Structures are given as structure tokens and as C-alpha cells.
Amino acid sequence: MTQRVTVVGSANADLVVAVDRRPSGGETLMGGELSIIPGGKGANQAVAAGLAGAVTSFVGCVGNDGNGEILRASLTRAGVSTRSLHATQSPTGTAIIFLTPDGENSIVVSPGANHDLTRALAERECATWREAAAVVLSLEIPLETVRFVIADAAEHGTRVIVNAAPATSLGRDVLEHCDPLIVNEHEALEVLGATGDDPDASDYPALATRLLAAGARSVIVTLGAEGALIATGAGCEAMPAFSVRATDTTGAGDAFVGAVAAELSRGADLSEAVRFAQAMSALSVQRLGAQTSYENEQAVRAFLAENA
């Protein structure tokens, strides 16, 4: 088996400004200094998988602009191949983030070049996932592209890992290939087409079991500082998170997904992969940013050894 991971997904420049409060309609507020940091779920997951030690390729689109270069540089620094990172005529996707003292950040995403990752473009990159041990998908790119990659990868025997974020209801045709489907507690409900009124809304083993019944081959529900839940045909296993002081949880979920993919591509089982991913994300929540907060495999293994 090859030990390669291919991530097909979004890349965004995160434009972050600290403000005292959210502006109201018609109001102009003065904010702090602008930070431009590399983000987007797909790029974050690829950087995490690369740093976690997997030979990683990223399939995505950025614009022909400075933000695109920031993303390309961050992927390259993490050892990720950018041969399938396309520069299109659209601006690089951006997330405009107001950081407020209440911690309830307000975010507006402009997808930009991520919309250019069409099925036709993805078809040209099929060798990247057909040759990989695992392919990782999230949902900030056109759903038609996601569906195509999942079906093609499954047909060619590549393990399919789907992070259903931002969440949408998914049918059996997609779920039956997910091994695992990775969702947080809110996404679990939305993938099932359920709402917060659902009787199982806070019964995570029940939600995970329903996702299995809906077709997923295996399910991981992430629960922030509470850890994660693994569900397979053999049952449910709760995995507590590492106890650390979190300063910024941005991108923790993406660190988790990339690290799971890296470990599974090396032949680890789901429990081993989740343990490794929890260490990677526990390290990331102690540092600022998403990609900028990720550490490498050696640091993750050292953390695991210290916290055994």
C-alpha cells in the first residue's frame, strides 16, 4: 500500500482584524492591524497531513494574486505537493474575520477561486488520488466535484475520508464510501437532515449510530475539549481529549482530519489514528492560527510519549 494522502478542497486567505465590537448597520469602526494568514479547510487539512508525515498532495484552486502565493508557500513549507494547485482568473478565496473580545468571532467567506474547482478540472487530477492510500474531502468546494472524487476514488480502491463541513444533508450514495465520515456534533445532525429539536440532538452515540445506519462505513464525531467518539459496526468508543490550556481553537478540527488521514495512510487502525490526531489538535489549540499552529510528526509523537 502506498502511504500517500491527497486532499481535494478549499484554500482561503484569512483576513483577521481585532475589533472592540461588531459594527452595526451604516457604522464604520476602527480595528487593529490586519493579519493575513493561510486557511481554508482543504489547505489546512493538507498542511496537517504533510506535517504529520504523510506524502501529501493538494488539489485546489487559488487566484493569480498575493493571497494565492501565501497559500502556496504555506503548503510548500509543510512539504505538500502543489503540482495540482491551480491558479485561476478568480480572486483567491477569503474569509474576513472580525475577532471580538467576547470570543464570538464574526466571519464572512467569499469562495472566489474555490468555485473554479469544477468536476472537469478535478477529472484532470484523478491520478493524484487513484495512486494514494487515502483521499480527504470537505465541503467548501462544489458538491458535484466532491461527489465525483468520492465515487472515482472508491472505484479505484482509495480510502475515502469525508469531513462534512460546512455541513449539508448527505445521501447514502456518498455516505456508503465514507471510512470514516468525520463531523462535529452540529454537523452530525445536519448530515442526517435533522435539527436541534431532534430527540438525539445531544446523544452522540445515538447520532453516530444513525450515521452508520444511513450508510457511513465508520464515523468519528469530534466534541471539542470533550474529545471524540468513534463508531463502527463493532460499536462506539469514546476517546477523551488531552487536557491542555487552549488559547485558539481555530483549525483544530482540520488538524484532526489531516492527522487522521496521515495515520490511516500508514496502516493505523481508527483508534490509533484518533489518538494521534487528538495529540496533533491538542498541540494546535495552544498556538495561534490554523496552519501556523500545527506541529510536525516528531512533536506529536513526543507529546504522545509524555502523555501516555
Question: Residue 237 — φ and ψ, nearest 5°?
Answer: -130, 125
Asked whether position 281 contacts ligand ADP by CB under 6 A, the answer is yes
Asked whether position 228 contacts ligand ADP by CB under 6 A, the answer is yes
Pick from 12, 81, 94, 184 the residue near ligand ADP by CB under 6 A: 184
Pick from 48, 139, 149, 241 the residue near ligand ADP by CB under 6 A: 241
Q: Could you tell me if 183 and 219 are in contact, meaning their C-beta atoms sit under 8 angstroms apart?
A: yes
Place of cell 465515487: 151
Which residues share a beta bridge with 15? 36, 96
Place of cell 495561534: 288
Cβ of residue 283: shortest distance to ligand ADP, in angstroms?
Answer: 9
Q: Could you tell me if 200 and 207 are in contact, meaning their C-beta atoms sit under 8 angstroms apart?
A: yes
Choose, from 14, 102, 254, 269, the residue flagged as catalytic.
254
Bridge-based pairing state of the strands 235-239 and 228-232:
antiparallel
Dihedral in degrees, nearest 10, Cα atoms 46, 48, 53, 54: -30
C-alpha–C-alpha distance, residues 288 and 286, integer Å:
7
Residues in the interface with ligand ADP (CB under 6 A) total 19
Asked whether position 222 contacts ligand ADP by CB under 6 A, the answer is yes
Concerning whether 254 is annotated as a catalytic residue, the answer is yes
Segment interacting with ligand ADP, rule: CB under 6 A, options 51-59, 94-102, 202-210, 244-252: 244-252
Cβ of residue 293: shortest distance to ligand ADP, in angstroms?
Answer: 11
Segment interacting with ligand ADP, rule: CB under 6 A, options 70-78, 136-144, 167-175, 279-287: 279-287
Pick from 170, 252, 259, 261 the residue near ligand ADP by CB under 6 A: 252
Catalytic residues: 254
